[in-house]
């Protein structure tokens, strides 16, 4: 591995994160009870062409507990602050499980900082899930061509029909079902998941926020 791809452990404020690579930035968000190390298998491959940042969320792993709530909004704000501390204006946000709900919240709160959105075995996709995993921002995001969903065909935690129903209702999504994988395809089947993510990145351009387009999302009648 070249020096550009060396994986390093760093601290920014109260967050500990893993950093690797060089190029267009990508933020990897783990799920409930997890840590940044859940991304250890795909991170080296992704870092060959991207800057990859994988933080421990507040109160997880080696990161300090938050001063306030553990809400989706608070987690999203902590990730925004991390990007600011690194001098990054935006990033592709990849979220797993609860991290998918946080990624959705991040895109809703900070559309100008969201290049693309990748949801892996994601929470926040429907009312059947627990309140902590709900996020209603999915249908408020602009330009579905810059969104991808991936899930394991054998996911017992968040069954595939959650993702399939969203994909059917939003045909602009890029989707990938990872055969014979469960709730953690990035750990158990990275050789099948990572190429799908890389293809999505190659064939899409980063979203560029504009007040006019966002105003139309918030209030379509204002156009």
CATH number of the domain bearing residue 215: 3.40.50.1820
Q: What is the pLDDT of residue 49?
A: 94
Query: Domain count of the chain?
Result: 1
What are 195-217's pLDDT values in tens digits? 999 999 999 989 887 777 667 66
Q: What is the pLDDT of residue 136?
A: 39
**What range does the domain containing 202 cover?**
3-222
CA-based torsion, 48, 57, 167, 213: positive or negative: negative
- pLDDT higher than 70, residue 132: no
- pLDDT higher than 60, residue 60: yes
Confidence band for 147, pLDDT divided at 50, 70 and 90:
confident
- pLDDT higher than 80, residue 97: yes
The pair of structure tokens assigned to 77 is: 């704000």
DSSP 23: S
> Measured in whole angstroms, how far is the alpha carbon of residue 220 from the centre of its chain?
27
Q: What is the pLDDT of residue 133?
A: 39
19 Cβ neighbours under 8 A, 6+ residues apart = 7, 8, 9, 10, 51, 52, 53
């Amino acid at each position: 591995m070249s020096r550009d791809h060396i994986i390093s452990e760093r601290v920014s404020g109260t967050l500990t994160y893993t950093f690797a690579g060089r190029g267009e930035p990508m933020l990897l968000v783990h799920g409930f009870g997890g840590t940044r190390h859940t991304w250890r298998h795909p991170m080296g491959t992704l870092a060959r062409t991207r800057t990859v940042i994988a933080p421990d969320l507040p109160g997880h792993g080696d990161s300090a507990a938050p001063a306030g709530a553990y809400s989706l909004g608070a987690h999203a704000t902590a990730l925004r602050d991390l990007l600011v501390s690194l001098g990054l204006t935006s990033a592709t946000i990849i979220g797993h499980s609860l991290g998918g709900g946080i990624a959705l919240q991040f895109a809703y709160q900070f559309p100008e900082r969201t290049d693309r959105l990748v949801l892996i075995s994601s929470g926040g996709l429907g009312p059947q899930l627990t309140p902590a995993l709900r996020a209603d921002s999915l249908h408020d995001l602009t330009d579905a061509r810059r969104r991808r969903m991936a899930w394991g065909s054998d996911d017992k935690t968040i069954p595939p029909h959650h993702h399939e129903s969203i994909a059917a209702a939003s045909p602009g999504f890029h989707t990938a079902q990872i055969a014979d994988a469960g709730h953690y395809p990035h750990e158990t089947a990275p050789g099948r998941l990572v190429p799908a993510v890389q293809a999505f990145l190659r064939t899409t351009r980063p979203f560029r926020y504009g007040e006019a387009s966002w105003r139309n999302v918030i209030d379509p009648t204002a156009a």
